[in-house]
Structure 1
Amino acid sequence: MCNNMDTVIEIKSEIKSGAGQVGQRLDTVAARMAHGVSRGSVSAMIRSGDIRVNGVKKKPGYRMKPGDVISGRLLIAPLPPVSATPMSMDIIHEDPHILVLNKPAGLVVHPAPGHWEDTLVNGLLAHCPGIDKVGGDGMRPGIVHRLDKDTSGIMVVAKTPGSHEFLKKAFKYRRMEKQYLALVSGEMDETSGTVTLPIGRHPVKRKCMAVDLSQGRPAITLWRKRARCKGATLVEVALKTGRTHQIRVHFKALGYPLVGDGCYGQRRRKKTKKNMLPIEKAASRQMLHAWRLGFRHPWSGRRMDFTAPLAPDMEALLLSHGLWDGNGESCF
């Protein structure tokens, strides 16, 4: 039964021939249509018949066909409030307009279904009074870009509405300079390269992305080799676009997935774990670090460049294999 606080979302969409949804699971496609609703909730609504295909009740795993029409009514309970939770933050720079920090690996940036507490946003609400009014999204106040949970490194947060608008535009129009350090599996012979493969949702794995030559969004990754050891190469990466999992997808496509990557690398294939090199076994997460960030200050217009020290686990792994000498100079 609906109460006065519930929200009803009506969805209807036709699956066109050749579109990226053809062949995908019904629950995956419907969950994307119902923004903010978990796939589990959508699956339950499909089983109950609240979401149908061509007016017929289907299973969540039904594979979409050209011409299928998804329709239904989703009863959504209100989202829980986001609480302020004091936490230790490695702050690189802070002024009345922006905050620059070094995010540790393992920290989720903002609340989402399945992970409402202990995110960076919870910490920001406690550290920056008034930031809850910045950006117009109660789940992501002040957030202008994101890093994956298991990616460490530099982030900039907007503390005022004006800074939020300025920084969002800077990211959108590619006025931010972003460099990463990535440890990839395999010994690369080339010294540099550019990857321009478009990226879209993986047709089967809902949490992964993939190269999609027909429906993907443009993505540009520049890279240069910094060091190499047995079985792995340290590269510096400059992003010209900011697609989800861009670095991870592009290096997977090159045949050099990131060391420790549970979605795109060897770690996700149980049969290969026993054959992993020691450097692979020693990595508990993808070895990816957002290293440098450069942009114009949203209030003063002054050029600002920041560098985030490597996370302890990644630094220790690189040092133990002779891949890192502490040199903070960029290859670009």
Structure 2
Amino acid sequence: MENKRSYKVEERAGLRIDRYLAEELPELSRSYIQKIIKDGGVSLSGKPLKANYKVNPGDVIELVLPPAVEPEIQPENLPLDILYEDKDVIFVNKPKDMVVHPSAGHTSGTLVNGLLYHCKGELSGINGVMRPGIVHRIDKDTTGVLIVCKNDLAHNQIAEQLKEHSITRRYRAVVCGNLKADEGSVDAPVGRHPVDRKRMAVVSRGGKRAVTHYRVLERFGEYTYVECELETGRTHQIRVHMASIGHPLLGDEVYGRGKSSFRLQGQVLHAMILGVVHPSTGEYLEVEAPLPGYFAEVLEKLRKGC
């Protein structure tokens, strides 16, 4: 079934239509949008547009997305760092540069591919064939612990704890600058950036409440080693919140200060501790992922004043 959408141009007039739609639909690649345009799926007043058309204020752009076809996700024998596992849940230490679950145009090499092989397909099906077992995510370049559910009962119970903000989630990060206070909180709503739709931002309208608590662990003058605890779990929350108070994460090329001298691959952010009430036993279970090598090296260099 075709998916029809319309967009009234109120901001970003003058952009090419392919770029405008790429910002409105960050989940789709620009090349895919260009293909839709080429196939006649984007129109204005009933007339198909070309990719180089520049949008004007008041334009009502009509977009027809082709029917979604979910690919079959294949199990893959990938190296996984299993921190804890039982019949209901599995805690995995995700490395850098690994995507959590498949998406359009990216169906292999993900954590889900590896889990399908490791668990022999025994993962909860609530989130569909693209995200079996997945109840929460961390970014591709963020390392650390994730919980994955093997059955629907466990999935529902962990999802409810996430909804109630009762799960313990503590991260380690290195931020730019010297934080004034030893601890504090950022309570600011997070939503899509009003101009760059591929980014998140602290927004005054349309966002969801987001709360991050932080605590200084070590100071290095130009940088600070901190622990961040999530009260809520919004997309890019820690990265956006710390940037909003003038202390973006070291290595964060999206919300930070560009490339650093540390030759990093993305932000220095690690999901270190995850605690939940076990869905079967009812007992509190807390799992810790040790700092990865790259993070330890950054701290060693900072301690030496490099």
How high is the TM-score relative to the length of structure 2? 0.88
**Residues 131-167 of structure 1: CA distance to partner in whole angstroms, max 9, x if unpaired?**
3552241111000000100000011000111111111
* Shift in Å, 1:27: 4.5
Distance in 2 (CA, whole Å) between partners of 1:14 and 1:316 is: 47
Report the counterpart of residue 119 of structure 2 in structure 1. 128
Report the counterpart of residue 239 of structure 2 in structure 1. 248
Report the counterpart of residue 143 of structure 1 in structure 2. 134
Q: Secondary structure at the match of 1:224?
A: strand
Q: How does 1:63-82 map to 2 (within 5 A)?
A: 68-76=59-67, 78-82=69-73
Distance in 1 (CA, whole Å) between partners of 2:275 and 2:161 is: 11
Q: How does 1:1-12 map to 2 (within 5 A)?
A: 8-12=1-5
Distance in 2 (CA, whole Å) between partners of 1:147 and 1:51 is: 33
Report the counterpart of residue 228 of structure 2 in structure 1. 237
**Residues 73-112 of structure 1: CA distance to partner in whole angstroms, max 9, x if unpaired?**
3324623211100122111110000001111111110111
Distance in 2 (CA, whole Å) between partners of 1:66 and 1:249 is: 30
Distance in 2 (CA, whole Å) between partners of 1:66 and 1:177 is: 46
Unaligned runs of 5+ in 1: 1-7, 269-275, 324-332
**Residues 212-257 of structure 1: CA distance to partner in whole angstroms, max 9, x if unpaired?**
1122221111111111113100111011111111111111111111
Pairing partner for 2:12 from 17, 23, 26: 23
Report the counterpart of residue 147 of structure 2 in structure 1. 156
Unaligned runs of 5+ in 2: none
Matched, 1:221 2:202: no
C-alpha contact (below 8 Å) 2:24/2:197 kept by paired residues: no
Report the counterpart of residue 328 of structure 1 in structure 2. none
Distance change in 2, residues 1:209/1:54 (3 Å): farther
Q: Secondary structure at the match of 2:173?
A: strand
Pairing partner for 1:300 from 252, 260, 281: 281
Distance in 2 (CA, whole Å) between partners of 1:49 and 1:123 is: 38
Q: Secondary structure at the match of 1:241?
A: coil
Distance in 1 (CA, whole Å) between partners of 2:99 and 2:138 is: 8
Report the counterpart of residue 111 of structure 1 in structure 2. 102
Q: How does 1:303-322 map to 2 (within 5 A)?
A: 303-322=284-303
Q: Secondary structure at the match of 1:148?
A: coil
For 2:3, the aligned partner's letter is E
- Percent sequence identity is 38
Distance in 2 (CA, whole Å) between partners of 1:256 and 1:166 is: 35
What is the CA RMSD across the aligned residues, in angstroms?
2.6
Distance in 2 (CA, whole Å) between partners of 1:298 and 1:214 is: 36
**Residues 179-224 of structure 1: CA distance to partner in whole angstroms, max 9, x if unpaired?**
1011001122211111122112223434321221122221111111
C-alpha contact (below 8 Å) 1:23/1:63 kept by paired residues: no
Q: Secondary structure at the match of 2:3?
A: strand
Distance change in 2, residues 1:318/1:311 (3 Å): same
Q: Secondary structure at the match of 2:228?
A: strand
Matched, 1:177 2:168: yes
How high is the TM-score relative to the length of structure 1? 0.82
For 1:285, the aligned partner's letter is G
Distance in 2 (CA, whole Å) between partners of 1:166 and 1:9 is: 34
For 1:123, the aligned partner's letter is G
- Structure 1 stretch 123-132 or stretch 32-41: which is displaced more? 32-41
Distance in 2 (CA, whole Å) between partners of 1:33 and 1:296 is: 38
* Residue-pair matches, total: 302
Distance in 2 (CA, whole Å) between partners of 1:35 and 1:211 is: 18
Distance change in 2, residues 1:115/1:249 (3 Å): same
* Shift in Å, 1:309: 0.2
Distance change in 2, residues 1:94/1:248 (3 Å): same
Q: How does 1:59-98 map to 2 (within 5 A)?
A: 59-60=50-51, 68-76=59-67, 78-98=69-89
- Structure 1 stretch 127-136 or stretch 88-97: which is displaced more? 127-136
- Structure 1 stretch 180-189 or stretch 139-148: which is displaced more? 180-189
